Amino acid sequence: GGEHEGILRRQSQRESAARTYARSLPIVPVRARGLTIEGADGRRYLDCLSGAGTLALGHNHPVVLEAIRKVLDSGAPLHVLDLATPVKDAFTSELFATLPGELADDARIQFCGPAGTDAVEAALKLVRTATGRSGLLAFTGAYHGMTAGALEASGGAADVRVTRLPYPQQYRCPFGVGGERGAELAARWTENLLDDPKSGVTTPAGMIVEAVQGEGGVIPAPDDWMRRMRRITADRSVPLIVDEVQTGVGRTGAFWAVEHSGVVPDVMVLSKAIGGSLPLAVIVYRSELDAWEPGAHAGTFRGNQLAMAAGTATLAYVRENKLAERAGTLGARILGRLQGLAAAHPCVGDVRGRGLMIGVELVDPDAAGPDDPVPPPAPALALAVQQECLARGLIVELGGRHSAVVRLLPPLTLTDEQANAVLDRFADALAAAER
Ligand code: PMP
């Protein structure tokens, strides 16, 4: 207890005011395995945050630890810049075998690093180099990272080169119609903007999109809309960048979320789970886009051997154990039970997701105006639900523009019993927060 309090106090004094997770989750993790984290105060938690979607196999999975130990025990160098190694060779082979469509045979890989935002920067730079253009198409509610270029794409900073397009939403549809019609209107908006000479939007260097918006509040894009984006970009020779940083490695029920639609992107941005819980980020892209000059993109930490080994083990484990399919079926079951909760609790405005990427949007039904298609978001209630979850030993994250969406990102290794335990605690927490 003393150690727990002391560490929390010192870190809250010493760390920047930008601390995020540490604010709402005052936990001092000292041990972890699978779904469970143990705090310095001896309390145990079911972790449905999973390092913001990083831990496909949960904490300290034996195959990941074994892969890391093997590198450590082999005497292999841990730091080699971007030199070729057997560890890198194995990682690249395993990764390429998972890639959709033509990318499996004809991809190039750029090791970036070490974070997702670095890979986003590389992707933006690559398409600007390859096309000689500068503009970018990005979407409302997008999240691509916190460095300058990624932040522009996320809508965090105003930049004339970024054209913001509507992302289709069932709930809170920007066109007020939802469903297929809403997605159709979102697509048409994009086409009109690109085709209207008076819009001021010239052919951009690329379009960057998430197949399921994560930080944006778990918003899955309809497959038809994704195919439409592919056609719109292909017809205009605009490279399509799909950011799979959070959706990748089986989480949504396919190995890569974009595969649900059958779309093959020109560039994929990959991080989080590909490093098996260690920092690793890459872009993979069609070989004809490989317009870099030697040295055009560099970085000291592009060769993290331990992360590549942990990543190889993770990718192989997900593939061999069909964990993407498992995420799909288990996710559908969890969604079903959450929909039951929604029916019983008017404060649950929407339940949505794909695979084990799940969002529960909390709303204030009493505050809805007569003309509001849906009630306004309820961030205070969402925070209360998160805290009630924590009090019951369940770690969940909040997301969405108003932080009113409770996000569940459990490991893909989640068992049925664990899923039930998570749902029981969540239901209790919701009931307690509502009171
Ligand atoms: N893209 C997406 C879709 C993300 O969800 C995130 C992180 N949540 C990033 C990029 C940025 O990754 P990182 O935090 O590792 O920089």
Per residue in 302-326, pLDDT (tens digit) is: 999 999 999 999 999 999 999 999 9
The model's pLDDT over 336-360, given as tens digits with 9 standing for 90+, comes to: 999 999 999 999 999 999 999 999 9
Name, in order, each residue with C-beta under 8 angstroms of 74's C-beta and a sequence gap of 6 or more: none
Say which CATH topology domain 76-320 has. Aspartate Aminotransferase; domain 2 (3.40.640)
Q: Which part of the chain is CATH 3.40.640.10? A: 76-320
pLDDT at 106: 92
pLDDT at 393: 98
Instruction: State the Rg of the chain over Cα.
Output: 22
Q: Is 115 in the pocket of ligand 1 (CB under 6 A)?
A: yes
pLDDT at 273: 98
Q: Whose CA is nearest to atom 12 of ligand 1?
A: 116
Complex ipTM, two decimals? 0.99
| Residue at token pair 């070490």 | 114
Q: Is 377 in the pocket of ligand 1 (CB under 6 A)?
A: no
CA atoms within 13 A on the CB side of 74: 15
Q: What number is the average pLDDT over the span 26-47?
A: 97
Produce one character per residue of 129-154: b if its CB has 16 or more CB atoms within 10 Å, e if not.
Answer: bbbebebbbbbbbbbbbeeebbbbbb
Which superfamily does CATH assign the domain made up of 2-60+322-434 to?
Answer: Aspartate Aminotransferase, domain 1 (3.90.1150.10)
Give 345 Cα–ligand 1 centroid separation in angstroms: 32
Give 190 Cα–ligand 1 centroid separation in angstroms: 24
Furthest-apart CA pair in the chain: how many Å? 69
pLDDT at 113: 85
Give 52 Cα–ligand 1 centroid separation in angstroms: 9
pLDDT band at 2 (very low <50, low <70, confident <90, very high): confident
Phi and psi at 45, nearest 5°, equal -130, 145
Give 197 Cα–ligand 1 centroid separation in angstroms: 34
pLDDT at 157: 58
Q: Which part of the chain is CATH 3.90.1150.10? A: 2-60+322-434
| Residue at token pair 């999975």 | 61
Q: Is 246 in the pocket of ligand 1 (CB under 6 A)?
A: yes
- pTM, whole model, 2 decimals? 0.97
Residue 155 has pLDDT above 80, yes or no: no
DSSP 146-166: SSHHHHHHHTSS--TTEEEEP
pLDDT at 400: 96
Residues 300, 96: Cα–Cα separation, whole Å: 23
